[in-house]
Amino acid sequence: MPTAAPLSDRLLNGDRRALARAISLVENDDPEGWALVREVYPKTGRANVVGITGAPGAGKSTLVGAMTKLRREAGRTVGVLSIDPSSPFTHGAILGDRIRLTDHFLDQGVFIRSMANRGALGGLSEATLQAALLMDAAGRDDIFLETVGVGQAEVDIIDHADTVLLVLNPGGGDSIQALKAGIMEIPDVICINKADHPLTDTMVREIRGVLSLAPSGGWPVPIIRAEAVRGEGVAELLDKLDEHRAYIEQEGTLSERRRRNLRNEILALAVARMRRELESRLEDDPEFLRLVEEVGERRLDPASAAAELLARELAADS
């Protein structure tokens, strides 16, 4: 196993194997991985990070492939991080998004990695931002973070990306349900994929109606029609993503977004580690088992049991 120092040198020089190894270490919560992130972190902050989200079947992976093709034609290096849902029972995942990116497998300027979300509600795993930082340190110009299909509350990609792209497609059911508050509050750019559908115009009108309810001023969210399979509209979409990046740089909000993202990442990592520690401590704890038994027998409600448990743990740590 390579040590952190030579691995970091290889990573900073753009070595693909070193990048793959580094992401595996972080994903597996290996101390060597976190030491590596600490070492290379000062070299990050240069990549353009775009978060891509939307309902399952919207064509996100195909769109990412089309955008990657144009970025490579422009001479830019690309990192793709696809987050797939984990089984709540086996904790396994079918990391299948690579299937739609086969055209780029042999391209040394493209690094593709699939990760399981490991039950994270918002569609992103605990190690996602760390993996993006490693791609950044390895010199990738553009990083595409593609999440699992999201619902109204599952919008934490806003805490990982400089620019958020929402991908929708018409004819997928009740479009008003898809446009409810939450998911519609996070995008900087909206793409209507599979735009040859006859209901595309209807969906565009509905989206504009929803966006009109937002406070005026600032960045006007553009709506781009695309046909990712044929590559139609993809160049215009990339232009809008670049315009948004230029806008937040000019307005000085890029650094503000990144500080917010990192703040939320610190809290998320701390909460995840506290939960693992708590679960380990309580696994065979008789008092915890007593609380569970009382809740199960309806002598105590879950909130009161949680309050009692938290008070006990805080007192023990003080």
Burial label for 236, CB within 10 Å (0-12, 13-18, 19+), is middle
User: Is the pLDDT assigned to residue 3 strictly greater than 80?
Assistant: no
**pTM > 0.75: yes or no:** yes
Per-residue pLDDT at 314: 87
Name which of 179-188, 195-204, 211-220 the model is least confident about. Answer: 179-188
User: Is the pLDDT assigned to residue 138 strictly greater than 90?
Assistant: yes
DSSP letter, residue 116: E
Q: Where are the domains of the chain?
A: 1-43, 45-251, 266-317
Per-residue pLDDT at 152: 39
Per-residue pLDDT at 147: 82
More confident residue, 240 or 214: 240
User: Is the pLDDT assigned to residue 137 strictly greater than 90?
Assistant: yes
Look up the CATH number of domain 45-251: 3.40.50.300
